Amino acid sequence: MSDSKEKTYTLINNQTGAKWDFPVVEGTLGPETIDIRALYEETGAFTLDPSFTSTASCKSRITFIDGDKGILLHRGYNIKDLAEKSNFMEVAYLLLYGDLPSREQYEEFRKNVTYHTMVHEQLQFFFRGFRRDAHPMAIMCGVVGALAAFYHDSLDITDPKQREISAHRLIAKLPTLAAMAFKYSIGQPFVYPRNDLGFAENFLHMCFAVPAEPYKVSPVLAEAMDKILILHADHEQNASTSTVRLAGSSQANPFACIAAGIASLWGPAHGGANQAVLEMLEEIGSKDRIPEFIQGVKDKKYRLMGFGHRVYKNFDPRATVMKESCDKVLAELGVKDPLLEIAMELERIALSDPYFVERKLYPNVDFYSGIILKAMGFPVSMFTVLFAVSRTVGWVSQWKEMMEEPSNRIGRPRQLYTGAADRDYVVLDKRK
Ligand code: CMC
């Protein structure tokens, strides 16, 4: 990356004629970026961009998205290649450290992460404080934040080694906590992690095994779960990742930052969309009700969940891989799900109807992931939790990158104030 001295954008105040030049900063890929950090100091003006449609909030080397071309790269590697040829542990290493691991590095990383899969025994009492019908995302917000109360020896964020241990702990413990949240909601005993199993396999084991009998994880499901984890692992500066970075910029501990990310992910416009997709398909109920539903979308009564994306305006490359995986899992399991038929018909209509075509509303990753997860036996309330398990890798990688940046300062957006100006205080008895 180079800070180009020659290329600038000039800002002109139309009333005074005053002019300022702002330098262009170019990355390796993506649009040129105007560095406006000095704007307020030089002009006394702010910029307004409430949903960050034109604002790069940071420099990052981790993930690149070209929304128009439907490209997603992690550290330069195409998501399709990673999903087809790699595995989640390797992708986690790549995101965290920047390169694909050698065999030795891979084994060591896998060992380190696996070593941290158990959670402090006392943590299970936190679960018991929740109602059985608590949403597992509510539980996750609480227990992940609570990890900071258990792992004091890795809370010094100025120490790179402690940061690394926290990162490994978070990647390792999220599946354990997620499986505990699931088991708690269905009234079954918690199943301890098994370090002889792979990451996805161990997770499925903790979710679906019971202590009373042996349980063998289906390799097809383990592979599909691994793929789901890869496809959700990182997505540059989305809402939850930006939340993690902003929380981290105040030097909050990593467990608190990831808990903040989980809270942000929960919303239906973000990670909660996979749950919302299934609920939408269930609400539609049958294919003959689709036209009425589509009309409701066009009348803007509700949105077609699992469609559209802030950045992808062509197709979501994750959705392409997820669709293939979805077909494979359903075929292997012999699942004939009527909801799937509704989903396919919705997809067909949305890809041909001018309303959706003009607005570039394509199926996103969450459209298919919900269908696979349902076929695997997860209740809809667990879908976003699975997203959180996977995205934790992206969150900790982005947090680590930010903490390693020497110029890291607290994030502090400004605002355009539109409230009342100067008002005189009137005592209570004299107010009308
Ligand atoms: N269904 C129907 N219309 C839509 C949808 C949708 N899913 N998404 C956008 N639109 C319309 C919207 O009404 C607007 O139309 P008009 O120009 O007539 O006012 C236009 O498309 C642009 O919408 P927008 O709200 O400005 O788009 P955005 O970039 O702010 O929103 C989004 C992106 C993902 C929040 C949105 O597409 C959405 O709500 N999708 C459904 C929820 C979803 O599937 N989210 C998961 C995203 S992928 C995984 C993740 O990031 O977590």
What is the pLDDT, as a whole number, of residue 73?
A: 98
Burial class of 143 by CB neighbour count within 10 A (0 to 12, 13 to 18, 19+): buried
What is the pLDDT, as a whole number, of residue 320?
A: 86
Instruction: Among 228, 299, 309, 386, name the best residue to mutate to test ligand 1's pocket (greatest count of ligand atoms within 8 A of Cβ).
Output: 309
Q: Are strands 77-78 and 71-74 parallel, antiparallel or unpaired?
A: antiparallel
Q: Taking the model in full, what pTM does it have?
A: 0.91
Instruction: Among 274, 290, 295, 364, name the best residue to mutate to test ligand 1's pocket (greatest count of ligand atoms within 8 A of Cβ).
Output: 364
What is the pLDDT, as a whole number, of residue 1?
A: 46
Cα–ligand 1 centroid distance for 53 (angstroms): 13
Report the C-alpha gap between 355 and 277 in whole angstroms. Answer: 19
Report the C-alpha gap between 228 and 242 in whole angstroms. Answer: 22
Cα–ligand 1 centroid distance for 361 (angstroms): 7
Active site residue 135: no
What is the pLDDT, as a whole number, of residue 331?
A: 83
Per-residue pLDDT of the chain (432 residues; tens, 9 = 90+): 445 458 999 999 999 999 999 999 999 999 999 999 999 999 999 999 999 999 999 999 999 999 989 999 999 999 999 999 999 999 999 999 999 999 999 999 999 999 999 999 999 999 999 999 999 999 999 999 999 999 999 999 999 999 999 999 999 999 999 999 999 999 999 999 999 999 999 999 999 999 999 999 999 899 999 999 999 999 999 999 999 999 999 999 999 999 999 999 999 888 888 888 999 999 999 999 999 999 999 999 999 999 999 888 888 899 888 888 888 888 888 877 788 889 889 988 888 999 999 999 988 888 888 888 988 889 999 999 999 999 999 999 999 999 999 888 999 999 999 999 999 999 999 998
Q: Which residue CA neighbors atom 9 of ligand 1 most closely?
A: 308
What is the pLDDT, as a whole number, of residue 5?
A: 59
Report the C-alpha gap between 294 and 271 in whole angstroms. Answer: 23
User: Can you point out the beta strands (E) in 172-328?
Assistant: none
What is the pLDDT, as a whole number, of residue 66?
A: 94
Q: Which two tokens stand for residue 26?
A: 């170019």
The alpha carbon dihedral of 53, 408, 235, 384 has a sign of negative
